[in-house]
Amino acid sequence: MIAYLDLPSGLSGDMLLGCLVDSGWPASRLEQTLSRLALPAGEWAVQIAQVQKGPLRAARVDVLAEEGRHDRRLADVRAIIESSDLPAVVRERAVAVFVRLATAEAKVHGTTIDQVHFHEVGAIDSIIDIVGAVAGLHDLGIDRLYASAVPLGHGWAETAHGRLPLPAPATLELLAAAGAPTRPAPGPGELLTPTGAAILCEMATFEQPAMSIQRVGVGAGQRDFPWPNVARLWLGEAESHGPLVQLETNIDDMNPQLYAAVSDKLFAAGARDVWITPVQMKKGRPGVVLSVMGVAADETSLAEIILHETTTLGVRVLALPRRHEARREMREVATPFGPVQVKVKWLGNDAAGVTPEFDDCRRLAESAGVPVRTVHDAAVAASHALLATLREGSSAARA
């Protein structure tokens, strides 16, 4: 699945959280994600509400954080994220967003990224926004994020560093480093925050993809403007233009621990699927075949990632004229051990299967001190009940 951020009024971290919740990411899942971080108890909370922005309904996420007495640096924020039991890809991408943000702040203020101070209330707010956004995109199964050009307004902002011109200097530095496209805002004010800019520049490709839209999530900004202060997240499947291709290479001299990072980069670059097949190579050495499927338009970029990120010296390309795909949707089921995310497989308007997310089952099993199989069995039973309900709904709709 892919997603496109339509930004008529810019973006902040909490606006993106609102988009994700409105797109079907359960609010309970956001709360579970944040509970897995070592944030100071009692100093933060998240509130979710449906609001009106002009004539439009939207989901608003309010991140409430108390004023702290000391600052955090990048190393402190990194430790909070990396010490959690969130999926590795979520931890890595969240840290990458913070590194990008710290790099911009360091350049603006003439210091190093290790010396950049995140004011504690801002640090908690940013950690919740960034980790929540990365986790939500991951849970919704979004393989690639796209974004529109961002509107930039003029004016002034009062900050811990004093009065600063808008767009905020760190926001401009982030956009410049990424070569991000901009456009004039519909009016004055800060429409794109540094946190929103850091997430976009790290996670998104600034273009509108050809896609079949399946649903839309609308997130609300905190301020009221003469126009609806919202962002919209379009979710759907990419429309293939031209044939699919399969790229392959044989590797027998690379550390196996590196394949996960290679796979993440390939998916981020638009790969439809990535897999590894064990093989026996010359001189009896064990090796693997790294295979990647994508659209022909992405062939060069995918091949360059393979050549840069692995030890291979060459990549084969095979033409794949077409592929049949089932639509997928993330839902949540209740078990005696806690809620579990499940993936629903749709064929047209018919639910064809429901599969529990193994990472959720493993996390709940560790928390309850029971075998993973016990939690997985409970999740499978709940999945079967959900599947029966969905099929009943489909039959009633056809009747």
Cα separation of 9 and 370, whole Å?
A: 47
Residues 6+ apart with CB under 8 A from 283: none
Which of 135-144, 324-333, 367-376 is predicted with the least confidence, judged by mean pLDDT? 324-333
Q: Which two tokens stand for residue 296?
A: 């022909």
- The pLDDT assigned to 120 comes to 47
Same fold, 244-320 and 327-398: no
Confidence at 283, pLDDT banded by 50, 70, 90: confident
Phi and psi at residue 188, to the nearest 5°: -75, 165
Let me know: does 13 contact 231? Beta carbons within 8 Å: no
* Average pLDDT of the residues in 61-85: 81
- pTM flag (> 0.75): no
pLDDT digits (tens, 9 = 90+) for 304-353: 999 999 999 999 999 987 777 777 787 889 999 998 989 899 888 889 99
- Give the fold, CATH level 3, of 244-320: Alpha-Beta Plaits (3.30.70)
- The pLDDT assigned to 353 comes to 94
pLDDT at 121 over 50: no
Q: Which two tokens stand for residue 361?
A: 């089952």
Burial code (b: 16+ CB inside 10 Å, e: under 16) for 203-234 equals: bbbbeebebeeeebbbbbbeeebeebbbbbbb
pLDDT at 188 over 80: yes
* Average pLDDT of the residues in 43-48: 86
Picking from 203, 213, 157, the residue whose alpha carbon sits closest to that of residue 180 is 203
* Average pLDDT of the residues in 366-381: 95
Cα separation of 150 and 198, whole Å?
A: 12
Q: Which two tokens stand for residue 131?
A: 């980790």
- What class has domain 327-398? alpha beta
Give the largest CA-CA distance in the chain: 71
Cα separation of 355 and 351, whole Å?
A: 12
* Average pLDDT of the residues in 285-307: 93
Cα 378 to its chain centre, rounded Å, is 28
The ranges assigned to domains in the chain are 2-238, 244-320, 327-398
